[in-house]
Every structure is written in C-alpha cells, then in structure tokens.
Structure 1
C-alpha cells in the first residue's frame, strides 16, 4: 500500500468508516503482533498490547494526527506501548520483590522470635523453684491478684510480692537476648496487686 492509499484509508477511518478500519486491522494486526512479541518476548502480552492499541486507535480516531506515514505511526505506537508495558512490569516486579523481602525479613523473623521466646519462657518458668513457679503461674496464667494468691497458698502478700519479684528478675536475666518489648509483652504485665 502506498502512502496515498494509506492517507485515503486513514481519512475514511477518521470519518468512522468501519470497513476501512477492518481493512487496516487485517493488514497490520499480524505484523504488529510479531513486532510486539520481539519487544516484550511474550505472545499473549503482545497480542493484548496490539488489540488494546487498535481499540484506542478507533476510539480516538478523530483526534489522532499522523505526521509521517500511517504505517510508521502504527509501529511507533505499538513500540511505545510495549516499552510502557516492560516498565510497568519491572515496577511491579520490584514492588513484589520488596514486599517479599520485607515479609521474609520481618514477619517470619518476628514470628520465629516470638515462638522461640515463648518456648524459652516456658522452659525458664519450669526451672523456677516449685513454690515460686506456682506463685508466678497463679499470677500470670490464672490472673489472680497477689492477695488472692496469698490466701490460696496460706502465705503473706509480702511473700507473694518477693517471690514474683525474684521470678521476674530470673526470667529477665535468663531471656535478656530477646527484645525488651517482647519480653515485657509475654512476662511482665502490670503489677497485679
């Protein structure tokens, strides 16, 4: 097709001639798909790009201004859409890699740290002397107040306070490798007087 025939075809398309548009589509669709595939290296993505191009080309036909030849306009437009697709995919890939890296670095590490801390707390509590362990569990696991523990075990509130203080000090020393916040979250709730 020579440039005069292209210009004539383009003028008909601008006026809304669907047969002229179909002719242009059939003439260039295959070539444009092959061209796009070489750029994006994906047959399906290339076809989608070319199809989207033709849809937009038809929708904006009256506003489009073709400076050189229609053929050059078609190939240049598809090339630009392919490059935009590659940039978009690279941005999505970078974002996905960042999210994955952050997820692996924080979520799993925090989760494993919490699991390790919980296991170490349980082990450390088991290592407490029997009476101190019982007092600690009544306070932290059953939520009893110091006065209630004292009554239940028939000991003074001062003894409960002293034993709890020793238990927390022991656990703090034993678990000092962990983040202070996590330790206090698991062990050292507000004084239970």
Structure 2
C-alpha cells in the first residue's frame, strides 16, 4: 500500500468508514501479530495486544494525528504496547515475588485461597453466556486458535475475538478481589489442563 493510498484510507477511517477500517485490519493484522510475537515470544499475548490496539484505534480514530506513514504508525504503536506489556509483566512478577515472600511468613494456608479462587473461576466461567463460554473453553482449555474456533463454530474470527475479549474482561471484573498474581497463576494452570 503506497503513502497516497494509506492517507486516503486513514481519512476514510477517521470519517467512520467501517469498510476502510476492515481493509486496514485485514491488510496488517497478520503482520502485526507476527511482529508482536517476535517481541513477546507469546502468540496469544501478541494477538490480544494487536486486537486491543485495533479496538482503541477505531475508538480514537477521529482524534488521531499520524505524522509518519500509517504503516509506521501501526508497527510503532504495537511495538510500544508490547514493551509496555513486558514492563507491566515485570512489575507483576516483582509484586508476585513480594507477595509470595510475605505469604510464606504468614500462618494461613495458601491452598485454601487457591481452592476458593479455582471455585470462583469455575463459577464465573459457568456464568458467561453460553456461546461466549463455549468460545472461552475452546480457546483456554482446548488451546484452539481463534481461527480454529471460528471454523469449528461457523463464526467469523472477529466474532470469536470479540467474545473472548468480553469473556476475559468479565472474568477479570468478577475475580478482581483476588491477588492478581494468584489469578494469573491459577488461570495459566487451568489453561494447560
């Protein structure tokens, strides 16, 4: 896509042209996911970051000002989001180490907290709407990629992405009373199971 085409596409997107946005998404989504995967070494996190980027890009389209080429803007934005993700995970890891050190000194039973968290996770998953729950389980418990889920359930990949985003947001909201580290620790265990 040349610079002239990019500028016209961006102007159309700023004016709310959904087809122009879909063209941008289809043109760059795969490249951005590959790029983010190289930075993060985690395809799932890379996909989530790219999806969240496109959602925010669309939401803020009328306020955006792009000085460089649109392609450069997309890749630079995703790179920054990946670096922020790494930094955030490092902070969470530091916090987790601190929490673990503190809990080892406390007399309460950690497995009690884990059992309640696991129960609450299972309950929260059950409370998801039926289709969203099915998509979530296929992704997290069976390890299917969004494309595979879309094919299996005869849905569009965008629908699967949107439903996964809503499922994760719902679970985070319902389980926010738990320590973040324990949530992610057990969530990862469930995903592998």
TM-score in terms of structure 1 length:
0.55
Structure 1 segment 104-183 matched on structure 2, within 5 A: 104=104, 106-108=105-107
Correspondence for 1:77: 77
Correspondence for 1:86: 86
For 1:74 and 1:23, locate their aligned partners in 2 and report how far apart those are by CA, in whole Å: 14
Q: Which runs of 4+ in 1 moved over 6 A?
A: none
In structure 2, the residue corresponding to 1:53 is in which secondary structure?
helix
For 1:18 and 1:103, locate their aligned partners in 2 and report how far apart those are by CA, in whole Å: 50
For 1:83 and 1:54, locate their aligned partners in 2 and report how far apart those are by CA, in whole Å: 17
- Give ranges in structure 2 of 5+ residues lacking alignment: 110-193
Using the TM superposition, give the Cα deviation of residue 103 of structure 1 relative to its aligned residue in structure 2, in angstroms: 1.6
Using the TM superposition, give the Cα deviation of residue 82 of structure 1 relative to its aligned residue in structure 2, in angstroms: 0.4
Do structure 1's residue 6 and structure 2's residue 1 form an aligned pair? no
Structure 1 segment 62-73 matched on structure 2, within 5 A: 62-73=62-73
Using the TM superposition, give the Cα deviation of residue 93 of structure 1 relative to its aligned residue in structure 2, in angstroms: 0.6
- Give ranges in structure 1 of 5+ residues lacking alignment: 112-193
In structure 2, the residue corresponding to 1:55 is in which secondary structure?
helix
TM-score in terms of structure 2 length:
0.55
Larger radius of gyration: 1
Using the TM superposition, give the Cα deviation of residue 83 of structure 1 relative to its aligned residue in structure 2, in angstroms: 0.6
Using the TM superposition, give the Cα deviation of residue 101 of structure 1 relative to its aligned residue in structure 2, in angstroms: 1.2
Correspondence for 1:53: 53
Using the TM superposition, give the Cα deviation of residue 102 of structure 1 relative to its aligned residue in structure 2, in angstroms: 1.7
Task: Considering Cα pairs closer than 8 Å and 6+ residues apart, tell me whether 1 or 2 has the greater RCO.
Answer: 2
For residues 129-185 of structure 1, the C-alpha deviation after alignment (integer angstroms, 9 at most, x for no partner) is xxxxxxxxxxxxxxxxxxxxxxxxxxxxxxxxxxxxxxxxxxxxxxxxxxxxxxxxx
Using the TM superposition, give the Cα deviation of residue 40 of structure 1 relative to its aligned residue in structure 2, in angstroms: 1.0
CA-atom RMSD in angstroms: 1.4
